[in-house]
Structure 1
């Protein structure tokens, strides 16, 4: 039980900070657009990565030195592009939340979510390397991993479906401009951090 609790606590602490993936889930939750597929993509992806880390896959990133650099540059390029889109949306403005109005296809939402998840080197560092190496401190590595996976499901479902509580605020176009501005700046800050090493 101790290993499960430790895995849950560490898992929550690693994904709690706002990042590209979390900002996207929040946006989808506010729009009430493809929320279930998006939170499932995030949660299942995390589960796969945590399982790989707990199973010892973190050794691959240490064994293949160039892999980390490729992941870092690809992730930074994607974040710069995504951040530019968010900043352009903030500059243009004119968006307001209309309940039940969908603007992005399910395919596009899922592909964007997959890219934000799998092209982000921090996801690998947090789930595969960090959680994987910490799990070795517990006799019940499986329990530790299960706790971390439960944290991912809990967090993403709470974020995706809890975002609707903010819906009244996002009925005003100015709120969307602020959100888009913050998302764009966060994306670019993460990209700079990735490139800086």
Structure 2
């Protein structure tokens, strides 16, 4: 009974991409290159519908074996401990730098640490190098969200920043009529002063 030719390097690349936990892109490329070289040297054979490689392993077993000796191939599991929460919800560049060094020690190189840092920051809705505080992943605390929203509202007493500049920016972007309506809804004139009561 004839069997179809197996494209072992392609099958190996697909197996590496499907591996759980995920492998880093550089690890998939390294694994694919290794398999191609081994096929060229005759270390892989086709036995019917199966590919058999060094030490009698199939492709999936070979991926498992190589990963067991190369933990740096794995995409690091993103921690969500309180320490990591503190890094991304504080907006502190110092804490981000400390986290980068921690990841670099674990992963062994800057490229992998940068990728892990970016992935971690994205979970918190921010980016590495930004002083904008992120939001802790998980269920949204509506009271905390409302408080944070008030800090960005130029017509709120909790507003932080240059109120006049913020109002000018709003007028430029939305028009004076719309901003006046927003101010009135907050009980203020367009300039931020309180509306008179009693007339």
Instruction: Select the structure with the greater relative contact order (CA < 8 A; seq sep ≥ 6).
Output: 1
TM-score computed with the length of structure 2 as normaliser:
0.28
The answer to which structure has the higher helix fraction is 1
The structure number with the bigger radius of gyration is 2
